[in-house]
Structure 1
Amino acid sequence: MKPSRKITLFIKSKSGYVQPYQVFSMEEDQAAPKKISRVKLSIILAVVAILVGILLAWLSGRNYIPGNPNLYLGFSIMVSSGIVCCIALCQQREYAGNITDYHEQEIILEHAMMLYEDEEYKQALEKFDVLIGPKKDHKRALYYAAKSCEALDDWTATKRYIKHYLELVPKDREAWELLTRAHKKLFEFEKAAEAEKRAMEL
């Protein structure tokens, strides 16, 4: 498979720093393998540490291994507590970082909407792609990216963006109507009829 094509933009924030953003091509994105989250992994490790401590304490109590059962159990509790504390600190730092990211995203979105309203659709689309990123979970960016592609008469891209949007907001009638138009422009009449039916139900 081809690697994702990337575009790097540099956006100057209010703090004066220049922040690079990567835009991932919607056409060439590869499906990223699902990874277990750090929180889940840490919880699993903490539980394993407790269970190992209980097992060692039981074996020690039955004289299968040397040592004090209470020491084994206490040490396992200390290890699991340390794991939980570490992940709590990491989550706190991540949350603080998300606040900063949100502020930066609002700046980009505001700029993108200005370009969109000025009918600078190609430039606006680049900004929307920054917000969409590999997760494709920014609702407004996905919607207006689809609208930008509609204005650019790129119906394949319109369909792609609006379908991602509808995965997040399935009860948006205007979005279903846009998908209907995209299918019709691409001569996908059966799919257009299905999308039109969904729009009529809302």
Structure 2
Amino acid sequence: MSARPAPPALGEVRNLAPKSRAERHGTVHKEDLEKMRLSQRRECFYHYEPNSLTPPPDSLSHIAESDRFETNAAAAEKASRNAVLMRKEQVLHAKRIARTHTEEERWRVVEAEHEAELARHEAMAREGTFCKSNKTSMPYDPITLQYGEGKDGQCLRYSDESLRYRAAMRAANLQQRTNVAGFNPITGEETARVPVPEKPVLPEYLQGIIPGH
């Protein structure tokens, strides 16, 4: 009959504290599990400080957990929309101001051009530029064919009357030489004489200039 084996040697004994049900359920969540492992870590030079990310209540950066998040979503959405509308209104206002300045500058240029045009017309009216530009090259009215009232009109009148007078005198001389008897040899009727107008009178301002008049 063989002998019984000896019991194994007793090693290091680790006593584990019992965990509550809340602690056991807490280890199921990943975030809580990582926090627990960090708190139980003792190797190297790391040192775990609980609540290291939460400022103490007496610090200036402390805030309650209920105030860390925005609870009024409607107000936040309205504020966001108001900000967008405000930016659009600022852009439109800047455009209106720019267009107003542009329009004022354009009208300033238009008024300056208008004033310069009026000044030019007044200067031309004083100097008689319009009259010179509207004056015809001939001393008579091309519409009514009336002679002008100046010296040029008198000279033209005298020239035309002299031309008609010389033409009538030439026709009378030809008639007198070709028809001495004074009647038509075919019909026997008396020939009508060519009317000769009176000799034109030289204008007064030329009577002392042209010799022989």
**Is the shorter-chain TM-score for this pair beyond 0.5, marking a shared fold?**
no
TM-score using structure 1 length: 0.25
TM-score using structure 2 length: 0.24
- Greater strand proportion: 1
Structure showing greater Rg:
2
